[in-house]
Amino acid sequence: MKSILQKTLLSLSLTTLLFTSSYAIADDYLIDKEGTHASIQFKISHLGYSWLLGRFNDFDGRFSYDEKNPDKAKIEVNINTKSVDSNHAERDKHLRGSDFLDVKQFPDAKFVSTHYKENTDGTATLTGNFTLHGITKEIVINVTKVGAGNDPWGGYRRGFEGKTRIALKDYGITKDLGPASTELELLLNIEGIKQ
Amino acid sequence: MLRNTQTSFGWLSQALHWSMALLLSGLFVMGLYMTSLNYYDPWYHSLPWWHKSFGLLTFFLLLIRTIWTLLNSHPKSPSTHKTWEKNLARAMQKLFYALIFLIALSGYLFATAKGKGIEFFNGFVIPAPSQTIEENYVDLIANAHEIMAILLAILVVLHALAALKHHLIDKDQTLTRMLGNKPRI
């Protein structure tokens, strides 16, 4: 179901990664979309009384990471916005519509990192440009390194957890959900398989 | 009389006709209004619930009406009706039934797209189809629901205008056949 544009973008970013990795020794990882060992969730207040969680079911991306030089790490993730899923048919339809994501006009959301800074305690700060609803803004993601190592099937995997907050109006989503629901938290769980 | 006669519709046909006229008009207005409500409106959740229940009711009435129409003969058209009018009226009746069926079906499909059934008032739940529907199709079906409803509303207005024209200008029995049950010549 991928558009030609998406495919072209993906192959372009693949080419870029190939070229950049020819001088850096960083390992390249493909986010495990196939086995869905990765998720992009959002958490938003419902009226201020509870939390609503939803997710994007379809996204792909890659990252590069070198243990000897972690601050050179890079990540790029593309999200298919129409895959938004809050486990409610009518709400999802509403979220896809022009009040929220407007997926017809903005079929993709995207994060491209610009800077990664690792701390000594296993946490890190990931800065990058997040494009949503046609608007690109710099965001900072608080990252926790989860682990890395061989998997039982002959591969090598590495995983991170990330959290950040975005304001809906920063991305031109002005639908009024009440004062408690102007921001949402993005909960990111990423596992990559070394290529 | 329960059944249709040569000159008039029976009371069941009339009851089905007018109750569906009322239900469909209500559903149309409700559909337009409820989708325009903001999140904090007290009716934001209740109106769609009523819309679905009344929509299901309309669908059940349509099934009964289709069967009843097939079991009954159609009253003879007044002699003033021209052939093209008779043909058009018959085509319109089929189109009405088909449109109402498709509007109900599309409503059911997009409301149940994620596998959740629809409540029929507080009575029982109409289960969702076993297959969930892909997002693109859900949006397409939802748009079709709205467009078909608007089309139906336009046709209903034309239908009412045509009935009034027969009653007021042609002064024939087209409308009165559907009103009351007095024997007519």
- Which is nearest to A106 in space by CA: A81, A83, A85, A129? A81
- Span A107-117, pLDDT tens digits: 999 999 999 99
Q: Cβ atoms within 10 A of the Cβ of A82, count? A: 24
Contact A92 B135 (CB under 8 A): yes
Mean pLDDT along residues A75-102: 96
- ipTM, interface predicted TM-score of the complex: 0.79
What residue ranges define each of the domains in chain B, with the CATH number in brackets? 11-178 (1.20.950)
The CATH code of domain A4-194 reads: 2.40.128.110
Please give the pLDDT value at position A3.
62
Give the start-to-end residue ranges of the domains of chain A: 4-194
- Span B127-140, pLDDT tens digits: 999 888 999 999 99
Q: Choose among B38, B111, B135: nearest Cβ to A96.
A: B135
- The answer to whether B112 faces chain A, any CB pair under 8 Å, is yes
Mean pLDDT along residues B49-55: 97
The Cα–Cα gap between B114 and A89 comes to: 5
Instruction: Quote the tokens at residue A120.
Output: 């000594």
- The answer to whether A89 faces chain B, any CB pair under 8 Å, is yes
Q: Cβ atoms within 10 A of the Cβ of B96, count? A: 17
Binned at pLDDT 50, 70 and 90, residue A13 comes out as: low
Q: Which residues contact A144 (CB under 8 A, 6 or more apart)?
A: A122, A123, A124, A160, A161, A162
Length of chain A equals: 195
Please give the pLDDT value at position B1.
81
Please give the pLDDT value at position B185.
45
The Cα–Cα gap between B2 and A163 comes to: 68
B138 three-class SS: helix
Phi, psi of A62 (to 5 degrees): -140, 155
Q: Cβ atoms within 10 A of the Cβ of B9, count? A: 22
- Span B111-123, pLDDT tens digits: 999 999 999 999 9
Please give the pLDDT value at position A8.
64
Which range among A12-16, A142-146, B6-10 shows the weakest confidence by mean pLDDT?
A12-16
- The answer to whether B116 faces chain A, any CB pair under 8 Å, is yes
- The answer to whether B41 faces chain A, any CB pair under 8 Å, is no
The Cα–Cα gap between A96 and A82 comes to: 6
Contact B112 A89 (CB under 8 A): yes
Contacts of B110 in chain A (CB under 8 A): 89-90, 93
The Cα–Cα gap between A186 and A173 comes to: 16
Is 50 exceeded by the pLDDT of residue A156? yes
- The answer to whether A87 faces chain B, any CB pair under 8 Å, is yes
CA-nearest residue to A102 within chain B is: B139
